[in-house]
Structure 1
Amino acid sequence: MNKWQIEDLLKDYHWKLHSVKIMRESMNEINVSMVAQYGLQAAMPKASGDPSDPILKEVERRDERWKKIHAFERDIKFIQSRLELISDERETEVLHWLLEGKSMRWIGLHMGLSDKHIGRIKDRVVAHMSHKSQTSERCTV
């Protein structure tokens, strides 16, 4: 992954994490409420009709939703696997607030630094994370 992709992941981390939580909860609620476990409905054959079949379309929609959840989880795990690379206190603090979804201006006000200085710290964090990414890609090639 290049630096811009990692920056985007840092920026999107907070909402993706929140979205995964909500999507998982809603998908689990839907799955429990729509699958008959007992009685006559449980013994009935499941729909597998033509493309206009509403049940088939719903299954396909949910399948796409699960794919989206897994893509978000992959992005979240990518960032989480690189957290230990950041050891400097300022970099760790900036990273923490970025992952919480705070803006660089907010972080700067919170830490008593300019937002440009926060931007430079963020660039160092991204450089550390992308360095591991590049070295691991070289090892696998």
Structure 2
Amino acid sequence: MNKWQIEDLLKDYHWKLHSVKNMRETMNEINIDMTAQYGLQAAMPKASGDPSDPILKEVERRDKRWKKIHAYERDIQFIQARLTFVTDERETEVLHWLLEGKSMRWIGLHMGLSDKHIGRIKDRIVAHMSQMSDTSDKCVC
């Protein structure tokens, strides 16, 4: 993963995390079971459904939603796996607030630093994470 992709993941981490939580809750609340599990209906062949079948469309929509949830989770896990690579106190503090969805300006005001300085710290964080992703992508044979 290159540094721009990692920056995007850091920027999107907060809303993706909350989206996964909300999507999981709504997908589990409205768990529509569309196949019979007991009795004669369970032994009967299942209808394949034609393209205009509303149940089939709903199943396809939900399947796409679950795939989106899994994609968000992969992004979240990528960042979480690299949190330990950031060891400097300032970098750790900036990373925390970035993951909370705060802007660099807000972080700068909070820490008493300029937003440009926060940007340089963020660049160092991204460099640590990209170095670690480069080494983890290589095969040790």
Q: Same fold (TM over 0.5)?
A: yes
Deviations 1:73-109 (CA, angstroms, capped at 9, x unpaired):
0000000000000000000000000000000000000
Aligned to 1:88: 88
| 2:139 alignment partner, SS class | helix
Aligned to 2:12: 12
Structure holding more helix per residue: 1
| 2:102 alignment partner, SS class | coil
Aligned to 2:136: 136
Conserved? CA contact 1:17–1:76, under 8 Å = yes
- 1:140–1:30: structure 2 CA closer, same or farther, 3 Å change rule? farther
- CA distance in 1: counterparts of 2:36 and 2:56, whole angstroms: 22
Conserved? CA contact 1:86–1:92, under 8 Å = yes
Conserved? CA contact 1:47–1:55, under 8 Å = no
- CA distance in 2: counterparts of 1:83 and 1:25, whole angstroms: 26
Q: Identity over the aligned pairs, expressed in percent?
A: 78
Question: Does residue 33 of structure 2 align to residue 35 of structure 1?
Answer: yes
Unaligned runs of 5+ in 1: none
Task: Give the superposition deviation at 1:42.
Answer: 9.6
Aligned to 2:24: 24
Conserved? CA contact 1:13–1:76, under 8 Å = yes
- CA distance in 2: counterparts of 1:136 and 1:128, whole angstroms: 12
Unaligned runs of 5+ in 2: none
Aligned to 2:59: 59
Aligned to 1:49: 49
RMSD between aligned residues: 2.3
| 1:96 alignment partner, SS class | helix
Aligned to 1:109: 109
Question: Greater shift after overlay, 40-49 or 20-29?
Answer: 40-49
- The AA in structure 1 aligned to 2:4 is W
- CA distance in 1: counterparts of 2:18 and 2:51, whole angstroms: 33
| 2:25 alignment partner, SS class | helix
- CA distance in 2: counterparts of 1:98 and 1:41, whole angstroms: 54
